[in-house]
Amino acid sequence: MKRLFNLNTYFKLLLLIASATVFFFILYTSLYLYTVQEEHRFYKATYDQYNNEVKSLFRLNSKTHTATIIDVTFWDELVNFTKKKEEKWYNKYILSEFESYEVDYIGIYGLNQKIINKTTSAKIKSFDFIPKAMMTSLYKSKLKRFYVKIPEGIVEVFAATIHPSNDPKKTKTKPSGYFFMARLLDKSFFTSLGNISSSKVNLVAVDHPINAEDDFVTVGLDLKDWKNNVVSKLLFKRPFNLNYSKTKEILFIVVIASLINILIFIYYTKKWVYNPLKLIKNILETGNVTSIYSLKKSKGEFGYIGNLFEENSNQRKQLEISKQKAEESDTLKSSFLANLSHEIRTPMNAIMGFSDLLMDDKQTEKEKFEYLKIIKNSGNNLVLIIEDLIEMSRIDAKQITPNYKGLNIEKCIAELHKSIKITIPKEKDIEFYVVESGDKIQKNILTDETKLKQIIVNLITNAVKFTEKGFVSFGYSINKEKDVLEFTIQDSGSGISEDHMKIIFDRFRRIEDNATTEMTGLGLGLSITKAYVEMLGGEISVKSTMGIGSVFTFTIPLKYDETVVESMPKIKISFSGNHENEIILIAEDDNINFLLLKKILESKNHTVLRAFNGQEAVDICAENPDISLVFMDIKMPILNGFEAFEQIKILKPELPIIAQTAYSSFEDKEQIMRFGFMDYITKPLDKEKIFELLNTIFTEINS
């Protein structure tokens, strides 16, 4: 130690340089090893996440077909088919709907393991590739999904035993036969699966090796037959964009640069080397932002490293934000699915439960009447849920476009006030009124009347929903500066908290607190409303105070209708008869729908005729001159409702025809009315609306 102190400054510096060199070598070696370790750890984490994602997506891809085969195999008529083997029934209900199953093969087998009938697409040429031994196993398990290798490739097979509808658990009865659905895993399947998973998907042999690559992460899924033996593999390959090679190169450059600086600039050792390294160490250990900023100000390579650290820090923050959004999205989807299950099961529970109670002879007539009211209300709630889901799907698929035409806004506001007012529950102490505009519009404006009305109805309905006492008002004003119409819907309800206001227009989000635990719905109403407003070129906003109320405001462009409308002479429809004892034709291919409408009409002493398809409807109208009215289903075989309507109008232009349809969107209804139908009814059918419609039509015809 004494000899060390006796060394001159030069040798001390040499010793310092040597010591620093060793120290830096150890430091950068540690950094390199740490980088390599982090690279392996991150790759493994990415692989595990990708593997779980692929498995989940692949399972989800088969759920629709699994649900379909479960539904089909509880079909009483399918049970009868396995016994009677009627080719006509098969062609009508299986072959005609083959494309809707989205498979390439459908086969029905008897319990003797012999095929009764089958249908295949052009992709599959093999006649009978279902293993007979597998059916013995299926007899016990009731449901299977497995894979089979055929000359055309690998097919995914969904198999289930056939039971009557009164045996939902398949435990009361023995199977009547076997139902098989299969789809070929072809190029279109791989392309679709690849788009969903953002991967390149292809089929490989069972013994195909899966090697790790620097720029890609690869996952293999085993495709197993009914014996649980692997017949092939699905290979998913996705780019792995995070590469540490640049970081390693930078570390190497820093080592060389540090050594050169130590050897040449002893004086600046502390200033240019020691301090930056200290900052680097601090950044690596704590991620301190101030240290990153100080390192960026350094000259040379360390400044560059500071920029890299800053970029890395920013990327890490973005990754954390993305992770939070992804987790929030997953949570939202899970919440939506749980909410959807709850909202559907709630009315279904009421429908099925009270239907069972109705079959009990011990129930009084009053109780039965109450049960029927509950079943009807539950059915209406279920229809509203389905319509919201369908409408949001149509919006996402961009199948809805505005239909601009002239609209008298004052008349529109008055009609909305009149129609909505009678729907407000009587138990709510609400004053519902229109705020008159100070600058009324005398000319027609150009907009989509249907969507504008739906926006206003949705917002008013929402206001009534959250208001127990007070008022709900709506009206419009003109914003001349922005050249827009500004609509305002105000209520004195419970109000909306700041947290809820941030998400109120997000889909699948509902306001849920102690005051709204009994509120139902999927949280799509305001999302649909916002989509409609933006579709019309406007904006929507909300202001609210808890306990005081809310104010929803939306705008649409103010454009006047300059179209000159030519008045068309009204076609007078003559009709001889009264309000009862009329001959009415029902064109309906579904037996249940026909029976329901028939019973409704016969309750008013009308005589009912039936046509099973559009062509029969035309023939019956031509042969029977005493028909007073036609109920025409839109979707029918041979001739659809529109085609049958055209031919009947040629024969009997004055015969009133009412459309009946399961298509409930505003666009479908507008298409029906534009086509020339006198009116329409939507499924599910409402008895009172049908009576009101008949009374209106017969009164108008006889006047």
Q: What is the mean pLDDT of residues 251-257?
A: 76
End-of-domain residue from the set 523, 557, 591: 557
Q: What is the mean pLDDT of residues 158-174?
A: 90
Question: Is 645 buried (19+), middle (13-18) or exposed (0-12) by CB count in 10 A?
Answer: buried
Domain of residue 318 covers 309-399
> How far, in Å, are 322, 323, 358, 365, 368 from residue 361 at the CA level?
60, 58, 8, 10, 10
Task: Name the residue among 242, 180, 188 with its Cα closest to residue 215.
Answer: 242
Tell me which DSSP letter residue 182 carries: E
Residue 293 forms part of a structural domain: no
pLDDT score recorded for residue 691:
86
Q: What is the mean pLDDT of residues 99-122?
A: 91
pLDDT score recorded for residue 176:
92
Q: Phi then psi for 133, rounded to 5 degrees?
A: -65, -30
Q: List the single range of 117-131, 337-351, 504-518, 603-617 with lowest mean pLDDT.
A: 504-518
| CA pair distance 506, 453, nearest whole angstrom | 21
Residue 21 forms part of a structural domain: no
The reply to whether 55 and 158 lie within a common domain is: yes
pLDDT digits (tens, 9 = 90+) for 189-241: 888 888 888 889 888 888 888 887 777 888 989 999 999 999 999 999 888 76
Report the 10 Å Cβ neighbour count for 97.
12
Q: What is the mean pLDDT of residues 534-555?
A: 90
pLDDT score recorded for residue 60:
85
pLDDT score recorded for residue 183:
93
Residue 114 forms part of a structural domain: yes
Task: Name the residue among 632, 624, 622 with its Cα closest to residue 586.
Answer: 632
| CA pair distance 661, 668, nearest whole angstrom | 9
End-of-domain residue from the set 372, 399, 426: 399
Partners of 331 in beta bridges: none
Q: What is the mean pLDDT of residues 8-15?
A: 53
Is the pLDDT at 5 greater than 80? The verdict is: no
> How far, in Å, are 73, 100, 381, 630 from residue 512 at the CA level?
39, 38, 19, 47
Instruction: Assess contact for 271 and 278: CB atoms under 8 A.
Output: no
Q: Which residue has the higher pLDDT, 686 or 531?
A: 531
Is the pLDDT at 574 greater than 60? The verdict is: no
Is the pLDDT at 172 greater than 80? The verdict is: yes
Is the pLDDT at 9 greater than 50? The verdict is: no
The reply to whether 485 and 425 lie within a common domain is: yes
Residue 487 forms part of a structural domain: yes
End-of-domain residue from the set 368, 384, 399: 399
pTM of the predicted structure, to 2 decimals: 0.41
Q: Which residue has the higher pLDDT, 168 or 265?
A: 168
Q: Which residue has the higher pLDDT, 264 or 445?
A: 445
Three-class DSSP category at 317: helix
Angle between helices 301-358 and 289-297 (to 10 degrees): 150
The reply to whether 233 and 317 lie within a common domain is: no
| CA pair distance 534, 540, nearest whole angstrom | 8
pLDDT score recorded for residue 381:
64
Res. 570 pLDDT band, cuts 50 70 90: very low
Res. 267 pLDDT band, cuts 50 70 90: low
The reply to whether 125 and 216 lie within a common domain is: yes
| CA pair distance 400, 391, nearest whole angstrom | 9
| Maximal C-alpha separation, the chain | 131
Residue 684, preceding peptide bond in cis (omega within 30° of 0): yes
| CA pair distance 238, 49, nearest whole angstrom | 12
**CATH code of residue 641:** 3.40.50.2300
Q: What is the mean pLDDT of residues 670-677?
A: 84
> How far, in Å, are 205, 451, 630, 655, 657 from residue 679 at the CA level?
61, 20, 11, 12, 7
Residue 35 forms part of a structural domain: yes
Number of domains in the chain: 4
The reply to whether 127 and 155 lie within a common domain is: yes
pLDDT score recorded for residue 517:
40
Task: Name the residue among 259, 257, 304, 312 with its Cα closest to residue 283.
Answer: 312
Helix (H) or strand (E) holding 50: helix 9-72
Q: Which residue has the higher pLDDT, 341 or 426?
A: 426
Q: What is the mean pLDDT of residues 603-626?
A: 90
Task: Read off the tokens for 442.
Answer: 């005398």
Is the pLDDT at 564 greater than 90? The verdict is: no
The reply to whether 511 and 617 lie within a common domain is: no
The reply to whether 395 and 414 lie within a common domain is: no
**CATH code of residue 69:** 3.30.450.220
**Percent of the chain scored above 70 by pLDDT?**
83
pLDDT score recorded for residue 8:
44
Residue 626 forms part of a structural domain: yes
pLDDT digits (tens, 9 = 90+) for 358-400: 787 777 878 878 877 787 777 766 666 666 666 666 666 665 6
pLDDT score recorded for residue 161:
94
| CA pair distance 155, 186, nearest whole angstrom | 9
Q: What is the mean pLDDT of residues 101-120?
A: 92
| CA pair distance 452, 529, nearest whole angstrom | 9
Res. 270 pLDDT band, cuts 50 70 90: low
Q: What is the mean pLDDT of residues 622-644?
A: 90
Q: What is the mean pLDDT of residues 13-31?
A: 74
The reply to whether 96 and 194 lie within a common domain is: yes
Is the pLDDT at 533 greater than 80? The verdict is: yes
Question: Is 5 buried (19+), middle (13-18) or exposed (0-12) by CB count in 10 A?
Answer: exposed
| CA pair distance 433, 17, nearest whole angstrom | 88
| CA pair distance 677, 257, nearest whole angstrom | 85
Partners of 179 in beta bridges: 108, 160
Q: Which residues contact 574 (CB under 8 A, 6 or more apart)?
A: 654, 701
Q: Which residues contact 128 (CB under 8 A, 6 or more apart)?
A: 107, 115, 118
**CATH code of residue 323:** 1.10.287.130
Is the pLDDT at 405 greater than 60? The verdict is: yes
Task: Name the residue among 679, 680, 682, 698 with its Cα closest to residue 604.
Answer: 698
Res. 293 pLDDT band, cuts 50 70 90: confident
**CATH code of residue 527:** 3.30.565.10
Partners of 219 in beta bridges: 236
Q: Which residue has the higher pLDDT, 695 or 551?
A: 551
Mean pLDDT score across all residues of the chain? 81
The reply to whether 151 and 182 lie within a common domain is: yes
pLDDT score recorded for residue 555:
93
Residue 171 forms part of a structural domain: yes
pLDDT score recorded for residue 666:
64
Task: Name the residue among 501, 492, 497, 500 with its Cα closest to residue 549.
Answer: 492
Range picked from 154-168, 353-367, 396-410 for highest mean pLDDT: 154-168
pLDDT score recorded for residue 323:
81
The reply to whether 346 and 423 lie within a common domain is: no
The reply to whether 209 and 68 lie within a common domain is: yes
pLDDT score recorded for residue 398:
63
The reply to whether 524 and 596 lie within a common domain is: no
pLDDT digits (tens, 9 = 90+) for 440-498: 888 888 888 878 888 898 899 888 888 888 999 999 998 888 889 999 999 998 888 87
In sign, the C-alpha dihedral spanning 572, 574, 575, 579 is: positive
